[in-house]
Amino acid sequence: MKNLTIADRSLEWLLASATDAMLIVDKQGQIVLANPALERLFGYEHGALAGKTLETLIPERFRQEHTGLRSHYIGHPRPRAMGAGMELFAVRKDGSEFMVEVSLSPLQSSDMQPVVMATIYDISARKQAERALQDSERRMRAVFETAVDAIITIDERGIMERVNPAAERMFGYSEAEVCGKNVSMLMPSPHREQHDGYLAHYAQTGEKRVIGKGREVEGLRRDGSVFPMDLAVAEMEIGGRRMFTGLVRDITERKQAEAQGREMQARLRELAAHQEKIKEHERTRIAQEIHDELGGLLTGMKAYVNVLIERAGAQSDP
């Protein structure tokens, strides 16, 4: 390291012991010093970067633009983060690229010439994690937006924060109309008046009545109509806040089908009873007919026998 106003080469020792990748460039953009952490990060042997231009560490497609930015910074030096709001890329010796953040600090050489110290952070892992999180959020948003069932998210006070399109269609409100309002507006009496008390009771005692369980309740549409629905509630914690997500399904058709089924079963029972009555009546009628026919036949046979007996007695008299 040369011409820097740092006694006993203390800056060079500091950079050599630093765990962050750091370098110093002069006003021409040549690398005066690169610490071991930076050499390892970019894949260079010790001392191999000295005298090379800073653009050696930048992908070729950005080098021309960077030269102009570097010259402007030398003319207007101040400590700052480089490329705020932008994605910055660096290139290793093997040609592989990675995303970085850069902090710049102006210094002066012994002859009062400006130099710049840059600290470079490899943010590839962080960006990968951010992209994974964004992808996960997009997938969750897609599920939320396209779910057939209504989804409503509330805080521990019962205030609605998110309502998906299925819930908008189910209750007749837009998300903007209900967000910031108490979810009890979607409930008929007496559930509306009881809901806040339930939340307060749960907050104080931890006793769960609905959370983690499915149950049948009633909902109230914007037009005032009441309908039956299945409700499942899940609890979660986001940023230290207790939140609840309700999964709601309109079961009007199911209830109607169940009622129709019960009515049909009742009719079948009535029909079976009626058929049994008819069968019993028919058995009685047949039995009566058989009784009458047998009775008539026996009476006739009895009269015939009596005649035969009389005739036999008459023939036996002298």
Q: What is the CATH number of the domain that holds 100?
A: 3.30.450.20
| Contact between 156 and 237 (Cβ < 8 Å) | no
Do residues 172 and 221 share a domain?
Answer: yes
Gap between the Cα atoms of 220 and 182, Å rounded: 13
Q: Is the pLDDT of residue 107 over 50?
A: yes
What is the per-residue pLDDT for 73?
Answer: 74
Do residues 121 and 14 share a domain?
Answer: yes
Q: Which domain holds residue 173?
A: 147-250
Which tokens hold the place of 164? 């998906």
Q: What is the pTM of this model?
A: 0.58
What is the per-residue pLDDT for 129?
Answer: 92
Taking CA 113 as the corner, what is the angle to CA 112 and CA 119, rounded to the nearest 5 degrees? 115
Which tokens hold the place of 62? 């950005």
Categorize the per-residue pLDDT at 49 as very low, low, confident or very high, splitting at 50, 70 and 90: very high
Residue 198 forms part of a structural domain: yes
**Weakest mean pLDDT among 180-184, 215-219, 286-290:** 286-290
Average pLDDT over residues 287-293: 78
End position of a domain, from candidates 94, 125, 156 = 125
Tally of structural domains, the chain: 3
Residue 263 forms part of a structural domain: no
Q: Which residues contact 191 (CB under 8 A, 6 or more apart)?
A: 184, 217, 218
DSSP 208: -
Which bin fits 249, alpha (ψ -120 to 50), beta or left (φ > 0)? Answer: beta
Gap between the Cα atoms of 116 and 106, Å rounded: 4
Q: How many helices (H) and strands (E) does the chain have?
A: 8, 11
Residue 130 forms part of a structural domain: no
Categorize the per-residue pLDDT at 1 as very low, low, confident or very high, splitting at 50, 70 and 90: very low
Residue 211 forms part of a structural domain: yes
Residue 1 forms part of a structural domain: no
Gap between the Cα atoms of 114 and 4, Å rounded: 10
DSSP H helices in the chain:
10-17, 36-42, 60-75, 124-146, 165-171, 175-178, 191-205, 252-316
DSSP 149: S
Do residues 13 and 118 share a domain?
Answer: yes
Taking CA 182 as the corner, what is the angle to CA 178 and CA 186, rounded to the nearest 5 degrees? 70
Gap between the Cα atoms of 226 and 216, Å rounded: 13
Residue 191 has a CB neighbour count (10 Å cut-off) of 15
Which tokens hold the place of 197? 């008390």
Do residues 241 and 278 share a domain?
Answer: no
End position of a domain, from candidates 90, 125, 160 = 125
Do residues 119 and 37 share a domain?
Answer: yes
| Integer CA distances (angstroms), 291 to 98, 276, 279, 281, 285, in order | 107, 22, 18, 15, 10
For residue range 149-182, list pLDDT tens digits in order.
999 999 988 999 999 999 999 999 999 999 999 9
List beta partners, residue 43. Answer: none
Do residues 176 and 284 share a domain?
Answer: no
Which tokens hold the place of 152? 């409503």
| Contact between 115 and 4 (Cβ < 8 Å) | yes
